[in-house]
Amino acid sequence: MTSVQSPPNVAVRRAGGFDFDSGFSRPRGDLFPIGSYGHTGFTGGFFWIDPYSKTFYIFLSNRVHPDGKGNVLALQRTLGTLAARAVGYTTPTATRVGWVTGVGDASNGIDVLVSTRFEPLRAMRIGLITNQSGIDRAGNPTIDLLVALFSPEHGIRGVLNAKVPDTIDPVSGLPIYSLYGETRKPKPEQLADLDALVFDVQDIGARFYTFVSTMGMAMEAAAEAKKKFIVLDRVNPIGGAAFEGPLLRGETDFVGWHPIVIRHGMTVGELAKMFRDERHIDVDLTVIPLRAWARQQWQDDAGLPWINTSPAMRSLSAAALYPGIGLLENAISVGRGTATPFELIGAPYIDGERLARELTLPGIAFTPVHFTPDSSVFAGKQCGGVRMTITDRQALRPVFTGVTIATVLHRLYPNDFDVDKMQRLLRDPRTLEAIRNGVTISWAEDEAE
């Protein structure tokens, strides 16, 4: 019901009962993005839903009383603009038509592979490193192709939060070897009967999101076992034209496997080539490339559907905020254990209204909230905090946002907010010191490398 059903040669965009962009979409106003949708009635009433800001509003009217000549068309547009402004939209948002309309025509590596009738894999015995995000444009899993599966953090179906055991996939019946249990690297005996490892996992564009660490360690295992390593490239869901944050400094580990900036702007295929070259991994690497993707495109612009990449990564908005908000998650609640992880933050000691007043940042609005997470940091405790709504994702600087929030929290609550807990993911002493001193730091040199 929420995808466009209009024929390709028809200009208006409508679904079964919903309007996206038509003569009946006046309730969208001037600020809600295309991709929001709703329905209008004969008497002038309507409802409108914006999935990006998780907002809906309803208007009840009876324009036919008393003489049938009432007109609320202009009012519908005005109400839409006011509602959008109330939830943080301030300028017309960049058009988001790809996922909604199917206009975007980018292809991930799996789609390119299918178009070749799997020629690069012909006559090879394959092991697949994947999870539930390993699908083509139509939602078909790549699992069906292969003789063995390797699962990264959160398991093959993306529903586990603890360590993942070896098991049998209940759908395909294939053996699964966990790479987030006792080992995070394929064992030689697991690779013995294979010719190649294929990696098909959706990254989200943040250095400390561990799927790319799994890829790098698997590349090392493939090199040691003299096996081919094939990456099915995937778009960076938050775009490939923006880079932000400090380089990793110090020792590398699973949450910081290579010295890159936090918002790296790269695809998994590009990262694989970087790992091979800069870490001198002697692996026979093939990258099945993307097709028709422009670097400035986000996942929805490219016409590709969102699928939860892990239990707490539930929306493109969460992915966009994660490079900055994720930095805070060892110190405060970032919404794990709520319906919207990484889209709200809080702690029992935070005054949400005061924090919201302190934060004026590009591309994002802050609304005071109270919430009680049922897991992770401050589980079971009522937290004050703020909900974050992206108002202009081209202007949004997620790492700057996260660091600014940390700076404000340290100033307001120096005895409660533990800045040192950020270092686990931040990995830059200079930025940590800037937070302590309440000063702004530039990462221009790091971002240029």
**Domain boundaries, given as residue ranges, for the chain:** 13-101, 109-288, 316-448
**pLDDT band per the 50, 70, 90 thresholds, residue 94:** very low
Q: What is the pLDDT of residues 279-288, one digit of tens each?
A: 999 999 999 9
Short-list 120, 172, 125, 109, CA closest to 144: 172
Q: Can you tell me the mean pLDDT for 416-437?
A: 97
Rounded to whole angstroms, the Cα distance separating 132 from 401 reads 30
Mean pLDDT within 50-66: 88
Give pLDDT, residue 32.
Answer: 85
Residue 172: how many other CB atoms lie within 10 Å: 15
At the topology level, CATH places domain 316-448 in Aspartate Aminotransferase, domain 1 (3.90.1150)
Nearest 5°: the CA angle 151, 153, 159 is 85
pLDDT at 208: 98
Identical fold, 109-288 and 316-448: no
Q: Is the pLDDT of residue 335 over 80?
A: yes
Provide the pLDDT for residue 305.
82
**Picking from 83-92, 317-326, 339-348, 366-375, which range would have the lowest pLDDT averaged per residue?**
83-92
Instruction: State percent of the chain over pLDDT 90.
Output: 58
Residue 100 has pLDDT above 70, yes or no: no
Q: Is the pLDDT of residue 442 over 70?
A: yes
Chain centroid to CA 10: how far? 32
Report residue 23's pLDDT band, with 50, 70 and 90 as the boundaries. confident
Which tens digits make up the pLDDT trace of 423-433?
A: 999 999 999 99
Alpha helices in 128-267 (DSSP H): 188-191, 211-224
Question: How far is it, in rounded angstroms, from Cα 380 to Cα 71?
Answer: 50
Ranges 140-144, 199-203, 214-218, 230-234: which has the least confidence? 140-144
pTM > 0.85 = no
Contact 127, 190 (CB under 8 A): yes
Decide if pLDDT at 6 tops 70. Answer: no
Mean pLDDT of 37-45: 90
- When pLDDT is cut at 50, 70 and 90, the band that residue 102 belongs to is very low
Confidence band for 126, pLDDT divided at 50, 70 and 90: confident
Q: What's the pLDDT tens digit per position in 239-262? A: 999 999 999 999 999 999 999 999
Q: Note whether 298 and 52 are within 8 A (CB).
A: no
DSSP label at 120? G
Long-range contacts of 20-26 (CB under 8 A, 24+ apart): 20/100, 20/101, 26/73, 26/76, 26/77, 26/80
pLDDT of residue 187: 86
Specify whether domain 109-288 bears CATH 3.20.20.370.
Answer: no
Q: Where are the beta strands (DSSP E) in 60-166?
A: 126-130, 148-151
| 200 or 192, which is more confident | 200
Q: Is the pLDDT of residue 130 over 50?
A: yes
**pLDDT tier at 186, thresholds 50, 70, 90:** confident
Q: What is the pLDDT of residues 368-390, one digit of tens each?
A: 999 999 999 999 999 999 999 99
| 294-326 confidence digits (pLDDT tens) | 999 999 888 888 889 999 999 999 999 999 999
Residue 101 has pLDDT above 50, yes or no: no
Reported as a pLDDT band with limits 50, 70 and 90, residue 1 is low
Q: At residue 151, does pLDDT exceed 60?
A: no
